[in-house]
Amino acid sequence: MDATAVRTVTHEISRADAIEHFLASAYGTSMRIRGRDDHCLLQHRRIDAGPVAAETAYQSADLHFEVEPLNKLIVIRTSTCRMERASDGDERRYGAGEVFLVCQPDRPHTARWLPGQFQNCVIDPALLARVAASTPARRPEPIRFTSLDPSTPQAAGQWWAARCYVADLLENSEAAAAPLVIATAARLLAAVTLATFPNNTVSEPTAQDRRDAHPAALSRAIAFVDEHANQDIGVTDIAAAAQVTVRSVQLAFRRHLDLTPMQYLRRVRLGRAHHDLVAADPARTSVTAVAYRWGFGSSSRFATCYRQAYGLPPSVTLHQD
């Protein structure tokens, strides 16, 4: 992911027709909005990072929406507003503090947004596919959500925590300039979204997956990670390089290394960060800069992992003669 894709745009718009034009352009679809113009005021802020975006929106009217397919996944958390949405016969009302999917990415929906604020995230379905497990037939089907509501209130809370974490990173100019940080954060948000809302991705390995979890597949996977650790890769990329399914490569790493593929990737990146700290000039770089370079969005978490691996804080390594 190109760090130049991270950008923030703020708008304030009045009149329902102007709001309709703006939102249709922003989401790249057709929509119709009805509301009283003398009460319409929209304040909209979007932080865009390519396959994911975080938005905060406030409006002062009672607006009714008819929206064509968005071709992207939108997860909303109401803050001070109430909302209603209907898609494919599924109708729900939401009060303040609730989390939900607006609709399936390829389906139209209607909605009612009462005065107040919400926060959301917009996710490219292609990113979800890169994070999701493959099907037993090894030809991934389009991801379908079997419910537009979280599986549990706890899952909704975890999604909101992940969204806040990612939004904070996007607000951080130094983190936003580090491609691996943003790419890793985007993958995290996609993975948590898949874990939050019931869907058709595979959860159990097949017999073929178990047979394919052999040392040769693991060797191919390790070689790929070692060569591409400085790039935006995930478990689906690792599985493709190993020529097996996601479940197979997960089993192979667990069976032979007692790690997940992503844990191994983080271990490799931690080693590269250690190498950079040893070689760095402390007058020209910082621990945070090195952590961001290798995809660690939290410098405190990086310091904890580093101490566990090397027995001393990364700042000590950086300043050693």
What DSSP string describes 129-157?
HHHSPPPTTSSPPPP-BS-SS-SSHHHHH
User: What's 200's DSSP letter?
Assistant: S
User: What's 311's DSSP letter?
Assistant: S
Which residues are registered as beta bridge partners of 123? 52, 73
Domain boundaries, the chain: 1-200, 265-319
3-state helix, strand, coil in the chain (%, to 5): 45, 20, 30
- Mean pLDDT, consecutive 10-residue stretches, the chain (321 aa), reads 71 94 95 87 95 96 96 97 94 97 96 97 93 58 90 96 94 91 94 94 80 94 97 92 92 95 96 96 94 94 96 94 65
Amino acid at 81: C
1-200 and 265-319: same fold? no
Characterize the bridge pairing of strands 31-34 and 109-113: unpaired
CATH topology of domain 1-200: Jelly Rolls (2.60.120)
Q: What is the pLDDT of residue 1?
A: 43
Architecture of domain 265-319: Orthogonal Bundle (1.10)
Angle between helices 153-171 and 179-196 in degrees, nearest 10: 170
N- to C-terminal Cα separation, the chain: 35
Angle between helices 246-257 and 261-279 in degrees, nearest 10: 70
Query: How far is it, in rounded angstroms, from Cα 249 to Cα 115?
Result: 48
pTM for this model (two decimals): 0.88
Q: What is the pLDDT of residue 207?
A: 87
> What Å distances lie between residue 128 and 44, 67, 209, CA to CA?
25, 22, 21
**CA angle (156, 109, 88) in 5-degree steps:** 85
Q: What is the pLDDT of residue 37?
A: 76
Which residues are registered as beta bridge partners of 8? 47
**Segment holding 278, helix H or strand E:** helix 261-279
